Amino acid sequence: MTIESDLAALTAEPPASLTGRVLAAVDLADEYVERPSPLGTLFVAFNVRGVCAVDLAPNAAAFEAAHATGGAGPRSPPATCPIRSPATSTPPSPGAIRGDSPWI
Amino acid sequence: MTSMTDLEPMTARLAADLTGTFPDLVRELSGGLFSGALRLLGDRQDAEDVTQEALVRAYRALESYPTDRIEQLQLRGWLWTITANLCRNRLRQRARRPTTPIDPSIAVEPSPGPADEAVRSETIDELVGHLLSLPWPMRSAVVLRHVVGLGADEIAIALDRPAGTVRSDIHRGLARLRTLYTEEHP
């Protein structure tokens, strides 16, 4: 072993969340939640600007495939692009439209 | 290892479609930035923060650049200009605060194994400590060359030093590391 090869072994994996955090910080990461509805599973994608897509889809992969837009859409898998849990969303304000969505 | 030539199409792609290509840049280059920052700073949380901040600053800068400037960028050297400056700032901030002991767990990924693996892990731990004891010019040049894998010309851009000075710093840094190792293992 040489000191050069020992140095080359000092690489380290960044945390899996890093990519998602960077993309979220520059407004390139969309996140989404899925909610059951009488019409089927409803997917709502959002980013720092607000809701950017609402759609029905049979599963997450189908939703991601339908809304992949060259990096700006919700194509990041949940593992690298954390999905906000509805439980942590702001509760509905008085007088808001009642529904099952965490945003209304 | 990604070479400068491999990244040339990425600069063209960034120029043509910044928002579409930037996620690929992050996925492809964040590992090298994080590894280098970790070995320059000796602290995993600081390395995470610096890597994220560097990539965000890079995106903001790219947004403001005309396409021909993006196409002509030497991407890794340019990214490391931002990252190395942030690392230096972080070290200066830390120097003004009470020192925190270096977390030994950052030296190598934990890997249970036989006794020779344990000895090797100890050697790597020592190397990490020696690396952090080098003065900044040598440490930065050695880390960017041998941990991150940049060429001398890219390092010259990143550290804003002549390539000849960079080569000299790498040479002297490696010599210092060998000396430190020999002193501990006569």
B5-20: per-residue pLDDT in tens?
Answer: 555 589 999 999 998 8
Q: Is residue B97's pLDDT more than 80?
A: no
Mean pLDDT of B41-45: 95
Identify which has the larger pLDDT, A90 or B22. B22
Amino acid A97: pLDDT: 44
pLDDT mean over A15-27: 87
Window 60-99 of A, Cβ < 8 Å to B: 70-72, 76
Residue B135 CA to residue A33 CA, distance in Å, equals 49
**Span of A38-47, B41-50, B52-61, B72-81 with lowest mean pLDDT:** A38-47
* pLDDT surpasses 50 at A88: no
Query: How many CB pairs (< 8 A) connect A and B?
Result: 93
pLDDT at residue B182, as a whole number: 85
Over residues B21-44, the mean pLDDT reads 94
Question: What is the longest distance spanned by two Cα atoms in chain B?
Answer: 57
For the segment B46-74, the average pLDDT, to the nearest whole number, is 97
| Shortest alpha-carbon distance between residue A82 and chain B (Å) | 15
Residue in B54, B55, B41, B30 with CA at minimum distance from that of residue B136 = B41
A15 chain-B contacts, CB cut-off 8 A: 48
Q: Residue B96 has what pLDDT?
A: 84
The per-residue pLDDT for A77 is: 42
ipTM, 2 decimals?
Answer: 0.82
Instruction: State the pTM of this model.
Output: 0.72
Nearest to A4 among B20, B23, B146 (CB): B146
- Lowest-pLDDT choice from A86-95, B111-120, B171-180: A86-95
Which of chain A's residues have a Cβ under 8 Å away from the Cβ of B171? Answer: none
Q: Measured between beta carbons, which residues in chain A are less than 8 angstroms from residue B21?
A: 71
Residue with token string 């993006």: B70
Tell me whether A50 touches chain B (CB under 8 Å).
Answer: no
Question: How confident is the model over B118-168, as pLDDT tens digits?
Answer: 666 777 888 999 999 999 999 999 999 999 999 999 999 999 999 999 999
CB contact at 8 A, B18 and A69: no
Residue in A with minimal Cα distance to B52: A22
Task: Evaluate whether B141 touches B170 at the Cβ level (below 8 Å).
Answer: yes
